[in-house]
Amino acid sequence: MGTICGHSIDEYIGMIRDFHGHLAPGLLIGGFMVDLATKNMPAGEFYDVLCETATCLPDAVQILTPCTYGNGWLKVVNVGRFAVAFFEKYTGAGVRVHLDAMKLDEYPEIRNWFLKLKTKQEQDKDRLIHEILTAESRILGMSPVQIVEELIGKIKGGKIFLCPGCGEAYPVKDGDRCLACQGTHLYR
C-alpha cells in the first residue's frame, strides 16, 4: 500500500477522522487526488488550489497542504464536479485531477457510491473503502490546465465601513449597506 503526501494510509485515515469527524469515502479518494496533483507540480513552486465541489474534497486539500479556505490559497467554485486543480499562484498554469467515472468498471462499489446508484444505507462501506485503497490513483484522470485570470491571486478585502442599518463592519464593495441589511438572510 502506498502513501498519501508522505503519510502512511493509516496516518491519513487518522487525519481524516480528526479533521472531518469520520472516514468519508470522498475524503479518502481526495487524498489520492491531492497526492497525484502535488506530484505533478514543479518542486519548490508556490501554488493555489481550485476545488470544483464543496463536498469532502476541500477538506483533503486543507489536511494535506498549506492551502486553506481561510488563507485564500484554496478557492471553491462549486460546479458539482469531483475535481481539483493545483496551479502556480502567479501564472495559473497547473494540473487538474478528477475522479474518472470511465475507470470504475473494476470498482463497482466506488461506482455505486460516486454515481449514487445505491443509497448510503445500501452501500457496503467496508467494501467501498477496500476498493478505494486498492484503486488508489488508478481511478483518477489528470490533465494540464490554465486557470482563468479572475481566479488567479488573492482577492483583496478592500475598505471596511460600518453598516448604517445594523452597525456591524462590512466590505464597502458590497454597497451602501451590508449584504444582510440588503436582504441576504442567514437566520430566521
pLDDT score recorded for residue 153:
81
What total of structural domains would you count in the chain? 2
Same domain, residue pair 185 and 134 = no
Give me the residues of the chain with pLDDT under 70, please. Answer: 1, 155-157
Same domain, residue pair 104 and 180 = no
pTM of the predicted structure, to 2 decimals:
0.87
Same domain, residue pair 114 and 174 = no
- Domain of residue 181, residue span: 158-188
Taking a C-beta distance cutoff of 8 angstroms, is the pair 48, 75 a contact?
yes
Q: For residues 103 and 139, what is the distance between their CA atoms, to the nearest angstrom?
A: 5
pLDDT score recorded for residue 1:
65
The full 3-state SS of the chain, as one line of letters, equals: CCEECCEEHHHHHHHHHHHHCCCCHHHHHHHHHHHHHHHCCCCCCCEEEEECCCCCHHHHHHHHCCCCCCCCCEEECCCCCCEEEEEECCCCEEEEEEECHHHCCCCHHHHHHHCCCCCCCCCCHHHHHHHHHHHHHHHEEEEEEECCHHHCCCCCCCCEEECCCCCCEEEHHHCCCCCCCCCCCCCC
Same domain, residue pair 130 and 176 = no
Same domain, residue pair 107 and 36 = yes
Same domain, residue pair 106 and 40 = yes
Same domain, residue pair 54 and 102 = yes
Same domain, residue pair 14 and 71 = yes
